[in-house]
Copies of this chain bind each other. A is one copy, B any other.
Amino acid sequence: MGHIGKQTIVFKNPPVITCAYSSAGPKETEGPLGAYFDNKLEDELLGEDTWEKAESKLIKQTVQGLLNKANKKPEDIQYLFAGDLQNQVVASTFGLKDFNIPFFGLYGACSTMGESMSLASIMVAGGMADLVMAGTSSHYCAAEKQFRFPVEYGGQRALTQQWTVTASGFVLISRCGVGPKIEAITPGKIVDLGIKDAFNMGAAMAPAAVDTILAHLEDTKQKPSDFDAIITGDLGNCGADIAVDIANKLGVDLSSVFNDCGKLIFDDKNQDTHCGGSGCGCSGSVFAGYLYSQLSRRNLKKILLVPTGALMSPGSTQQGNTIPGIAHAVSIVMD
């Protein structure tokens, strides 16, 4: 059912993203994309007593919101693909368990939105399911506590650092229906150029983003201008510049169509987020909120969404390991 490219799969029966739903925290809602989020949180704790439980509730609200918006029940959804940044992806486990939907747990760091949409598309395009759900989440305080310092500690943030968003995005992927279609995917390779600075994730992920974008363009014989936008996950301000620069040196000028969810979600002049947004929920909520809306209104007709992930743990960094990156590309068109 799919054409086998070198790395890219072009779907003969492109799955349709029939519905999308996004939740975002108070800071994200105050940003430039605030109006596009379905569920605007006023309380970063969502009434829970820990940040970790708050993230699970964020996921639960997002999935329930998507079901309501699409007028579906949990039993209408055949399979669910999701993951998050918490150790052993427990935010997803506790956020999703009560829906009782067969579940594939994923870990692709901040590339998880691309990974979940890719696997969901493969399943639907291959005729294995009619309706599945894909999504992801992140929570600023849970992620800071786990990967760097608890926010209560008040550590100073490096200027190359990004702000993990408190947000979640889920989408319905269907065999038929109306909406933007996933016409192709390019699952990414692990790319390691030896970056070790855990306070500069954008630099660590940029080579992987370029690797996947160039593979997609080559496999599908397209050029950057064939897309209205090529939008990476969360390279942020630093990483986005590096990505455009690397692509340029490899002979591909991305500059006219390139953007990044981490750049879009915050106003870097007024929100003091340094290098922009990050976290699984960044590309998750920017796609399910802003980009899905732009596609549905035909303001964008064809995009390449490229969620990017930094594959490390605090332990791997402490043991002197590098920070490899990965990026999964999803080509989405609106007829």
Contacts and interface: CB of A to CB of B under 8 A. Distances in A.
Interface stretch (A30-38, A248-256, A290-298, A310-318): A310-318
Contacts of A189: 100-103
A311 B88 contact: yes
B128 A4 contact: yes
A233 interface: no
Contact of A106 (B1, B86, B104): B104
A267 interface: no
Contacts of A97: 190, 192, 311, 324
B87 A87 contact: yes
Nearest to A316: B90
Contact of A126 (B100, B126, B130, B315): B126
* Max count, chain B CB within 10 A of own CB: residue among A100, A101, A118, A123: A123
Nearest to A192: B97
Interface residues of A, number: 58
Interface stretch (A20-28, A107-115, A156-164, A258-266): A107-115
Contact of A123 (B101, B103, B122): B122
23 contacts: A4-B78, A7-B102, A50-B319, A87-B314, A87-B315, A88-B109, A88-B312, A88-B316, A89-B311, A90-B321, A94-B324, A96-B190, A97-B311, A97-B324, A100-B189, A102-B187, A103-B189, A103-B190, A104-B115, A106-B106, A107-B107, A122-B126, A126-B126
